[in-house]
Amino acid sequence: MIRDLKEIAGVLMRVLKGGEVSPAELAHMSFIAESELRAALAEAYAGLLEFAHHRDLRSRDAAADRAMRAQLEMCLERIADACDRVLPGPRPSVSIH
């Protein structure tokens, strides 16, 4: 699950920094996660597919490109929020005096 999460988050971050993703690259992705996280990952995957398939439109329309990237940024935020609720966080260190 963590590897799949990192893979999708990495692609989202690359796209948000101005990069591209191909439908072929997305075809090899898969993910297994808990319900809320699975929903966030599925939404991000669908958004990435839409982004990849509309490359021609985005190359001609800067506003459409910005809107799609903004939507993907929201997907990344939802993934982070779901991770905070689903994945165990770092445990505080305890010292005994």
Q: Which of 24-28, 62-66, 91-95 has the lowest mean pLDDT?
A: 91-95
| pLDDT of 5 | 79
Residue whose C-alpha is closest to residue 47's, from 83, 91, 90, 16: 16
Please give the structure tokens belonging to residue 88: 């165990």
Cβ-contact 23, 52 below 8 angstroms: yes
Q: What are phi and psi of 30, to 5 degrees?
A: -150, 165
Contact 1/32 with Cβ under 8 angstroms? yes
Rounded Cα gap, residues 93 and 57, in angstroms: 51
Structure tokens at 37: 């996280």
Q: How does DSSP classify residue 92?
A: P
Label residue 91 by pLDDT band (50, 70, 90). very low
Tell whether the model's pLDDT for residue 27 goes beyond 50.
Answer: yes
Q: Can you give the pTM of this predicted structure? A: 0.73
